[in-house]
Structure 1
């Protein structure tokens, strides 16, 4: 049912900026490169203030909907996506935002696309870092598309350039895949982190692997949430209860090869379904704030 991933979600819908996206080509490679020019990572290159951004622009990481992101981008630079943008003409955000904007453009052109939440081993040697990439349906099946990294990126682990339009599955593990590998003893959970320097226990290891399952299931159901959103079974637990471990095993197995109908049915459960009101913990704050989704 690829039609499900062609239509917009409330998060990917460009709204009044759809006409602006008409200027972008209906080409996955070109859209991927365009996406790399739209966001400046809020911590990937150090503090944004060291790159000329006013500190207040860190608030742009709270932009949740593509329509709002496109509005801000258009305000910063009226040129349609695709042309080179200096850093200050990009919104401040993270991997989720690169991916959502790519998915927004792809769906605008009728290309089946979705976000995937998981961990990547190609961002920092020795670690599987929290990451979000896109997935695009091709004649050969679903391919992972890296919307954040620039052309010519070389894996710092082995200095090999890999295809950013077909990211190797052993270098990016979806939430379900990472969980399965951890439970099988194939992946050390201590290597799964948001950031090695972030000493927050529930954002590392087994607890964070569980959170990524829930977030990836939401993404598969076109709920492209912020990485710091909290709902349902997500909390700051450091030790997972046996029932939660069993639930994660169940979801990970289901999400491996499940069709759209199965994914949508699974998403109806109260512990994983995104409700109308959630909480979010925007970095660097640690206090959850209530958010009413529109």
Structure 2
């Protein structure tokens, strides 16, 4: 039995389907099972509730061969420690009792910027908590997601502008959520690994924001340019969107660290390279969304 937390999200939802496609038995932890993809609820075991609740985690993880661990930071959290490690601490005993855990993490460990990188710093601290229990743990470390471009769908289609805090000429990796899910599915079904390791998951190319805007323009057949948002304006946007001060500041700190090279500290290798190019992601995901 493989347990998937956050099964209604972009990564978790794809992971559930990937596992079902190969006949793996799946149990999901969901606050609202009605949000599962159509047809999924009949094929999986469902434990209702939050995977940060010790009673829910104990029930969900019982008898599991592996657990997929993903923490979505509460946008109203008063601190990043509360959002990540605070969510995880109550269920460490339940996690420690399973044979293997695969978690969602971030690039940056070992770089000069990792200690002041907001959400990344908090995520790495959470990884250390899980690893300290002794449970075999693979932390999937990612750069920014291609799928985050969907947050900019309205300005892309209405204004021809892709906005963001990233420096326009910084060449950096990205990754598609579907490739993260595929990597997680492979590791969750592999019972041969032990210990704690980080597993970088990088798309096949580095692109600048200007280059990404040009790809979007070519795929959509309309002019699109990139415009960098000043850091404080970016934070103000996050506050207006309902994030707490701590969460908004953490997002800004992460963006600053990425601009300083946080995501560029790992060399791409065949082992750490995923297949989906940004152009292919735009064709498969962004264009259908823009045309809808």
TM-score w.r.t. the length of structure 1 is: 0.28
TM-score w.r.t. the length of structure 2 is: 0.29
> Max radius of gyration: which structure?
2
Q: Which has the higher contact order (CA 8 A, sep 6+)?
A: 2
